[in-house]
Amino acid sequence: MKIVFLEPLGLTVEAVEKACDKLKKSGHEVVVYPDRKPELNIERASDADVVVESNMLLRKDFFDACPKLKMLSIAFTGLDHIDMAECERRGIVVKNAAGYSTEAVAEETICMMIGLYRHVIENDRITRSCKGPSIAPGREIAGKTVGIIGMGAIGQRTAALAQAFGCKVIAWNRSPKQVQGVTFVDKETLLKEADIVALHIALNNETRNFLTAKDFAIMKPSAIIVNAARGPIVNTADLAEALKNGVIAGAALDVYDGEPPLSNDNPLLTTPNTMLLPHIGFATKEAFEARLQIVINNIIQN
pLDDT digit string, tens, across residues 55-90: 999 999 999 999 999 999 999 988 989 999 999 999
Of these residues, 44, 139, 200, 230, which one is catalytic? 230
**Pair (92, 112) in one structural domain:** no
- The number of folded domains in the chain is 2
**Pair (19, 119) in one structural domain:** no
For residue 230, indicate whether it is catalytic: yes
Residue 27: left (phi > 0), alpha (psi -120 to 50), or beta?
left
Containing structural domain, residue 252: 102-276
CATH number of domain containing 133 = 3.40.50.720
**Pair (225, 108) in one structural domain:** yes
For residue 119, indicate whether it is catalytic: no
**Pair (80, 162) in one structural domain:** no
**Pair (69, 172) in one structural domain:** no
Of these residues, 17, 122, 279, 289, which one is catalytic? 279
Q: Give the Cα-Cα-Cα angle 256, 261, 266 (nearest 5 degrees).
A: 60
Per-residue pLDDT of the chain (302 residues; tens, 9 = 90+): 999 999 999 999 999 999 999 999 999 999 999 999 999 999 999 999 999 999 999 999 999 999 999 999 999 988 989 999 999 999 999 999 999 999 999 999 999 999 999 999 999 999 999 988 888 899 999 999 999 999 999 999 999 999 999 999 999 999 989 999 999 999 999 999 999 999 999 999 999 999 999 999 999 999 999 999 999 999 999 999 999 999 999 999 999 999 899 999 999 999 999 999 999 999 999 999 999 999 999 999 98
**Pair (14, 49) in one structural domain:** yes
pLDDT digit string, tens, across residues 100-113: 999 999 999 999 99
**Pair (95, 106) in one structural domain:** no
**Pair (288, 268) in one structural domain:** no
- Whole-angstrom Cα distance, residue 273 to residue 215? 19
Of these residues, 259, 286, 289, 291, which one is catalytic? 259
- What DSSP line would sit under 42-105, residue for residue? HHHHTT-SEEEESS--B-HHHHHT-TT--EEEESSS--TTB-HHHHHHHT-EEE--TTTTHHHH
**Pair (249, 121) in one structural domain:** yes
**Pair (96, 109) in one structural domain:** no
For residue 259, indicate whether it is catalytic: yes
